[in-house]
A and B are shown apart, each in its own frame.
Chain A
């Protein structure tokens, strides 16, 4: 018996097939999920709107079309008015342009908040899971405390405490709000990553790496984190709608985005005053918010199924 004994039949079949990387496999399964594809398309449109918003917008978000307003008897213009596709608000500002500005704010929230969540949650969770014992206990009790603290109160307190500083004044105070939302949101990410690391740490391929003599740091970076990335991507995608919603809520109650900038939350807030006579001022921003939230959720659910290692290679 020689050592050169590849099973010939199997080898031929394999040779004829293209290389299937785990990523390609996940993408293929994502593409088969219709809802997720629709979600992904809307998300891409939303991103495009946020980036190209100012270029796309027929009006500047703070410009008042006073002429048209006067012509309409100082009442908000209804949808499908000439020059104003979705009408205007009571000050004659183009609603479509303001929605685009809101998209920009929502996407900024999504990005900034998730970056903060990742930057804090992943290292904390990875350290707790990897080192275990006392480190784990310390870090997890700390996250429990953060988790137990009322989010809204924390955000308001931060807002008050740092209002006068450079961070507080950056981006009309928005950056501070975003950071605050992120600072309350990393807790779930830390727990998720810790759980992943705990289970991966016991896996045989990590043991194999240890037997080879790979350093701890490299084991975490090369073996553990890449294998934990699936659930993290899902958590980030599903965390975006709650961040957007948090910002909308803050803006709705008046501590978020300040006029003249428009967030979907503050647009809804403004609109409620005219809800009886001009329902479009509430309906359109609410619709935009709902569509964005649903798209991210659909995409997140689809990613979760596509990245599930148990389903790898199927369908």
Chain B
């Protein structure tokens, strides 16, 4: 059997990032010299087990999309490594990598930009099949029809062009294209953010159903925490190119250990006016600092509410915190994670929710 296209069957994680870095050069001057770099992803380690869904959240520009792309080598990492099924993607030849792409796919955020406007839907979905020579002739057409049915589209529309479809339908086409190669791992890069609220649920449920039916592994990138909670086994939170917290979804949502996670959660409205009135919210001041020049020490300290509460401790400014275990299946990169854990910010404490704890 072909070692590239077939699983090794090893017990290790399916996808693994180890100290992954993606820096984009900033060029300037007439000679286009390198003046610095945007550290979109700056040393992230993350592993995803087979069949697992890891959610990735964070503010715009925190590097979550870049990380997702680097993990399937759509972006060239500038440091660290990305492994798929135990194989270092950087060491594969261009040919081997192209063949490995059968096993890892991506679904994009923008259902308008991600489909070639000059190709019919049938051609779009058939392209992966042709590229990897999975079927041809009648079998190929049958497979395209089957895929369209699988994502809930009428196969009759194979002859039509993307501009004739709605956003939700286009996203289904994108999903069909990703599934055409029968991948094991799919990076879902904000797959529902660009859709109408009324359609978001449909596409989300489609992705969840497919995961079950096809045994898929997802890296699910989003900025909507409620959505991520709904689909993920584990959740990672990114800030300015770093992973600041990661853990089992239930843990992270109930007891966030990083001030940034708490700030993000506090921005999610609770659908209960009584609780909503009682819980504490923090609005992060200012903008995300430039990823070209991240603050020293903890990158979050310039906007951290805990830092202010604790009287601006020095080590936040000077020592960059590493991800460390703060509970069962939960790690956070904060010197004062214990203080964050017991804070009342962002989550509903049992005391607040007590009257309505019935559910």
Using A3-B210, A19-B160, A208-B174 as known contacts, say yes or no to A10 and B110 having CB atoms under 8 A apart.
no
B132-A1 in contact (CB<8A): no
| Cβ–Cβ < 8 Å partners of A3 in chain B | 150-152, 206, 209-210, 213
Q: For the complex, what is the distance from the CA of A313 to the CA of B110, rounded to whole Å?
A: 19
Say yes or no for A82: interface residue by CB 8 A criterion: no
Say yes or no for B156: interface residue by CB 8 A criterion: yes
Task: Annotate A13-56 by CB proximity to B: 1 below 8 A, 0 otherwise.
Answer: 01101011110010000000000000000000000000000000
Residue of A at shortest CB range from B115?
A205
B153-A208 in contact (CB<8A): no
B98-A215 in contact (CB<8A): yes
Q: For the complex, what is the distance from the CA of A210 to the CA of B116, rounded to whole Å?
A: 13
A205-B114 in contact (CB<8A): yes
Task: Annotate A179-218 by CB proximity to B: 1 below 8 A, 0 otherwise.
Answer: 0000000000000000000000001110111111111001
**Min CB gap B184→A, angstroms:** 14
A212-B181 in contact (CB<8A): yes
Q: For the complex, what is the distance from the CA of A22 to the CA of B209, rounded to whole Å?
A: 34
Q: For the complex, what is the distance from the CA of A10 to the CA of B165, rounded to whole Å?
A: 9
A212-B209 in contact (CB<8A): no
Q: For the complex, what is the distance from the CA of A17 to the CA of B163, rounded to whole Å?
A: 13
A19-B149 in contact (CB<8A): no
Query: CB within 8 Å of A: which of B98-123?
Result: 98-102, 104-106, 108, 110, 113-120
A312-B163 in contact (CB<8A): yes
B118-A208 in contact (CB<8A): no
Say yes or no for B26: interface residue by CB 8 A criterion: no
Say yes or no for B159: interface residue by CB 8 A criterion: yes
Residue of A at shortest CB range from B102?
A213
Using A21-B161, A209-B127, A211-B105 as known contacts, say yes or no to A4 and B152 having CB atoms under 8 A apart.
yes
Q: For the complex, what is the distance from the CA of A204 to the CA of B164, rounded to whole Å?
A: 19
A227-B117 in contact (CB<8A): yes
Contact pick for A19, options B106, B119, B159, CB 8 Å? B159
B150-A212 in contact (CB<8A): no
| Cβ–Cβ < 8 Å partners of B97 in chain A | 213
| Cβ–Cβ < 8 Å partners of A22 in chain B | 117-118, 161, 163
Residue of B at shortest CB range from A207?
B74
B72-A211 in contact (CB<8A): yes
| Cβ–Cβ < 8 Å partners of A20 in chain B | 160-161, 163-164
| Cβ–Cβ < 8 Å partners of A14 in chain B | 157, 160, 164-165
A213-B117 in contact (CB<8A): no
B205-A1 in contact (CB<8A): yes
Say yes or no for B297: interface residue by CB 8 A criterion: no
Interface residues of chain A, those whose CB is within 8 Å of chain B, are 1-7, 10-11, 14-15, 17, 19-22, 25, 203-205, 207-215, 218, 222-223, 226-227, 309, 312-313
By Cβ-Cβ distance, the 3 closest A-B pairs, closest first, are A213-B101, A213-B98, A204-B114
Query: Could you list 18 examples of A-B contacts with CB < 8 Å?
Result: A2-B209, A3-B151, A6-B154, A7-B169, A10-B169, A19-B164, A22-B117, A203-B113, A207-B74, A208-B108, A208-B174, A211-B104, A211-B106, A213-B132, A218-B131, A222-B127, A227-B117, A227-B118
